[in-house]
Amino acid sequence: MRLMPSRKTRILALVGILLGVVVYKFAISAGPANGFDLSNATLPRDEILHGGPPRDGIPALSDPKLITAADAEYLRPTDRVVGITLKNQSRAYPIAILNWHEIVNDEIDDQRFAITYCPLCGTAVAFDATIDGQPTDFGVSGLLYNSDVLLYDRDTESLWSQILGKSVSGERVGKSLTAIPISHTTWRDWLEQHPDTKVLSDDTGFSRDYQRDPYAGYEESRFTYFAVNNEAPDYYHPKEIVVGLAIDGVSKAYPFIELDKQGKARFSDTVNGKRFDFAWDTANRSISITDADGQAVAGIQGFWFAWFAFHPNTEVFTAAGS
């Protein structure tokens, strides 16, 4: 005799079917491109990869709560921060929070900007968020290119490559963003230089454990979650920290291990015939760059494998005698 399933079993089965339909419909509507139009993409479409989360599954922060340095009790002296100074005002954005949100849309005296961070590439870049004369906010698309986050602007839903600083699909395809110089350093160092700094509060409105690193162990391993087009030579660890400059089509990487070897706090170098001055702080693992006129320059600090993926013809700075 055939036994009929219980009413509870039938209900659970029905719920499972309905949930499956919802998930399937979401997958169809979002698709591997998370709902973005890639029809005019300047990158090969098969190289724009789904990172896992849906669009805005990693929630960007907008108009965040800021606190004084004295109130930033959740920060330890050695914690890493991204610091920016605009119009004589300084702000610090801890990596511990950026790990969970990747983008902070903020403003200083009507100047809109975005602090962006890709944990997979270790790259922090600040951009002027005024495009075509209009301020915009950015979100996390959930898509990647060369393991690097693709941002999207909320006005046109155009996709932007963080490391390239350029729109790669959508209405604004081909347009470039203006990078703003930042400091990637310790909280201790930033506070010493900018005692009046404001700090991103850990009261973000989202339930996240900012004392836990969701990428713990990633920086030490040779493993990367996603494939890249150009595999970096193995004479450096894939996650070796470098700061890179790209000047009119010529790029150069400055590995921190080489800066340690040369042992100079200050030095000059040329990229594509242009001179730059470097200030290297070995204790805080931080570097600042200025041009021949003494103006701060926005380099990109991140992992060696990521810089090489985007700049396979990069020159590499080496310490004298190495």
DSSP conformation letters of 78-97: T-EEEEEEETTEEEEEEHHH
Question: Closest Cα to residue 255, out of 305, 187, 184, 185?
Answer: 305
The answer to whether residue 10 is domain-embedded is no
Q: Are residues 59 and 191 in the same domain?
A: yes
The pLDDT of residue 145 is above 70? yes
The answer to whether residue 322 is domain-embedded is no
Q: Are residues 51 and 195 in the same domain?
A: yes
The answer to whether residue 166 is domain-embedded is yes
Q: Are residues 260 and 190 in the same domain?
A: no
Overall number of domains in the chain: 2
Q: What is the mean pLDDT of the chain?
A: 91
| Domain extent for 56 | 45-200
> For position 320, what pLDDT does the model report?
80
Q: Are residues 264 and 144 in the same domain?
A: no
Q: Are residues 160 and 89 in the same domain?
A: yes
Entry pTM: 0.89
The answer to whether residue 233 is domain-embedded is no
Q: Are residues 138 and 245 in the same domain?
A: no
The residue type of 232 is A
Q: Are residues 55 and 186 in the same domain?
A: yes
> pLDDT for 19-47, tens place per residue?
333 333 333 334 579 999 999 999 999 99
> pLDDT for 264-322, tens place per residue?
999 999 999 999 999 999 999 999 999 999 999 999 999 999 999 999 999 999 998 65
Q: Are residues 68 and 177 in the same domain?
A: yes
> pLDDT for 162-198, tens place per residue?
999 999 999 999 999 999 999 999 999 999 999 999 9
The answer to whether residue 63 is domain-embedded is yes
Q: Are residues 194 and 245 in the same domain?
A: no
Neighbour tally for 197: CB within 10 Å = 21
Q: Are residues 114 and 52 in the same domain?
A: yes
Separation of CA 205 from chain center: 21
Q: Render the burial of 288-306: b for 16+ CB within 10 Å, e for the rest.
A: bbbeeeeeebebbbbbbbb
Q: Are residues 165 and 270 in the same domain?
A: no
Q: For residues 250 and 176, give the distance between their C-alpha atoms in angstroms, rounded to a whole number.
A: 17
Separation of CA 124 from chain center: 5
Q: Can you give the CATH number for the domain in which 146 is found?
A: 2.102.10
Q: Are residues 152 and 266 in the same domain?
A: no
